[in-house]
Amino acid sequence: MRRLAAVLTAAVALGFALTACGESDPVAGTATGETREITHAMGTSKVPAAPKRVVVLDTDKIDTALSLGVVPVGAAVAGDAKSWPSYFGADKLAGIKEVGVLTEPDLEAINALKPDLILGSKFRQEKFYDELAAIAPTVFTEKVGVTWKENLLLDGRALGKEQQARDLLATYEQRAKELGVKLGDAAARKVSIVRFMPTEIRVYGPDSFSGIVVGDTGLGRPERQLLTGKEDRRMDQVSPERISEVDGDVIFVTAYGEKAAAEQAKVTGGTLWKGLTAVRANKAHVVSDEVWMTGIGVGAANKILDDLGTYLPAA
């Protein structure tokens, strides 16, 4: 704790000194020292025009950075998942240093990497913002999931790649529409999204990340998963005894970590699960949790489209 306090004290002092001089960190800044102002969830930050040493503190940020050709020097990991998005390939992840978990970033490890930009989320790391901003220019998005497209564009702007981010988003949205057309009467197909957690079972609604991607194709959702009338339309819980509520024409199933996978095996091995319409028709598919749930970026969104194209026959 004394060591961490010393690091933060030094970082804060450095932050004040840089503010007074109106300059970027000479170690972490760009060669030209050129900066841009970015307005975000915690205010306004001056960031390098072309940041080189980026630390990311949420799963959507690592997806965005890698999708835009930026390999972070450090990244937080997602709790029980304990990994970064393997769908980008091990070669792109090899040089990234772990800097804590999403809800508890390791400030000392971040400071040691001498970042010139930190990307995070107010939803997860608001209480750490001042300490992070003292280490390097820090940009926070407001929420996760429901605003994934807006987050992509904001983070793209902070990375100096706003137009590339817009192009990636436009390409994804066009692809989603084309897939919906290929599938025929997409709205008539009710896609159920189920996630096993260590202590609960969730169904995902239209405002969740995967729910938005499915919605972009025009595919329908079971009535239970529209979450009509609920303030939070991202997700809801079901009990093992009411597993019939997760049924649909097709079910996509994920599990968050090993404990959740054990619960998934227990429930899906039971008679209630085996009695679901989709299960009896061999239309219940286990898919990647890091793609459907924790990816929350354009890279993961395209992987979801891959799954939909694989498991849903064209008209």
Q: What is the pLDDT of residue 251?
A: 98
298 or 10: which leads in pLDDT = 298
Q: What is the pLDDT of residue 219?
A: 97
Reported as a single tens digit per residue, the pLDDT across 273-306 is 999 999 999 999 999 999 999 999 999 999 999 9
Reported as a single tens digit per residue, the pLDDT across 71-122 is 999 999 987 666 788 999 988 899 899 999 999 999 999 999 999 999 999 9
Tell me the C-alpha distance between 77 and 14, whole Å: 27
Task: Phi first, then psi: give them for residue 227, nearest 5 degrees.
Answer: 50, 40
* pLDDT of 3 strictly over 90: no
* pLDDT of 16 strictly over 90: no
Task: Phi first, then psi: give them for residue 251, nearest 5 degrees.
Answer: -120, 130
Q: Facing residues of 90 across strands?
A: none
If DSSP codes are grouped into helix, strand and coil, which group holds residue 281?
A: coil
Please report the domains of the chain, with CATH numbers, ordered by start residue: 2-168 (3.40.50.1980), 179-309 (3.40.50.1980)
* pLDDT of 2 strictly over 90: no
- The beta strand positions in the chain, using DSSP E, are 35-40, 43-48, 54-56, 74-77, 97-101, 104-105, 117-121, 138-141, 191-196, 201-204, 235-238, 250-255, 284-286
Q: What is the pLDDT of residue 35?
A: 95
pTM here is 0.88
Q: What is the pLDDT of residue 82?
A: 64
Beta-sheet pairing, 191-196 with 201-204: antiparallel
* pLDDT of 203 strictly over 50: yes
